[in-house]
Amino acid sequence: MTRFLLPVGLFALLVVVLAIGIQRAPQKNIIPSALLGKPAPAFSLPELGAPGVTFDSSAYAGRWWILNVWGTWCVECRAEHDMLLEMRRSGLAPIVGLNWKDDDVEAQRWLAQLGNPYERVPVDAEGRVAIDWGVYGAPETFLIDPQGVVVHRHVGPITAEVWDAEFRSRLPRSDAPPTMPVPDADTSVVEPAPAGAAS
């Protein structure tokens, strides 16, 4: 009888391991970002609808900010759009909308019709910046802290639950607009340029 104990025990162990694997499977569809805890890739791109204006990500140094990757060809982006507008209204962190491989005219029409949740809209027509950020599908949304580190990445549309649990919970609670921590170590950091061309 005892000679069956080991194989049966091993089988039971296998069942438990596989059961845990199956239960956790839905989360495994989402590939964790390789950028978490690392400095956000710097980039500069032309601004949507503003010829000659360049967006530079260094403008957000010292601030919490959100990068949302979107395109008018992206169905799920339409689904999250109202939530993005609500996020802008909360005033907790500015949202930069990276317009990924899109048509400029379509993109401008989209923002005019649905409302513009973005403070700035850099245009990544060739998809090079998206590759630097490890983007593999829109929408993707990143949270960047004042030190310029990627704190969180969400794949798929943002819902009220996702906003509360994954973004708002990480942002400093304040009714006032996000304060500007003065970087004392690095004085070379320029004051975040006011988004003059945007809006």
Distance separating alpha carbons of residues 126 and 180, to the nearest angstrom: 33
Among 21, 39, 91, 127, binds other proteins (CB under 8 A): 127
Check residue 106 for interaction with other proteins (CB under 8 A).
no
Residue 147 has what DSSP assignment? Answer: T
Q: Which residues contact 55 (CB under 8 A, 6 or more apart)?
A: 44, 45, 46, 47, 96, 120, 121, 122
When the beta carbons of 109 and 128 are compared against other proteins, the nearer one is 128
Please select the residue that binds other proteins; options are 31, 42, 105, 189, rule is CB under 8 A: 31
Query: Among residues 12, 131, 165, 190, which is the contact residue for other proteins, using CB under 8 A?
Result: 131
- For the bound state, the minimum distance from the C-beta of residue 43 to other proteins, rounded and expressed in Å, comes to 13
User: Least Å distance between CB 31 and other proteins?
Assistant: 5
Q: Which helix (H) or strand (E) holds 153?
A: strand 150-155
Number of H helices, E strands in the chain: 6, 7
76 binds other proteins (CB under 8 A): no
Residue 177 Cβ, how far from other proteins at the closest point, in Å? 32
Nearer to other proteins, 137 or 172 (CB): 137
| Residue 17 sits in the site that holds other proteins (CB under 8 A) | no
- Between CA 46 and CA 126 the distance in angstroms is 12
Beta partners for 154? Answer: 141
Q: How far is the CB of 8 from other proteins (least distance, A)?
A: 15
Structure tokens at 159: 């819902």
Contact residues for other proteins, defined by CB under 8 A: 31-35, 101, 126-128, 130-134, 136-137
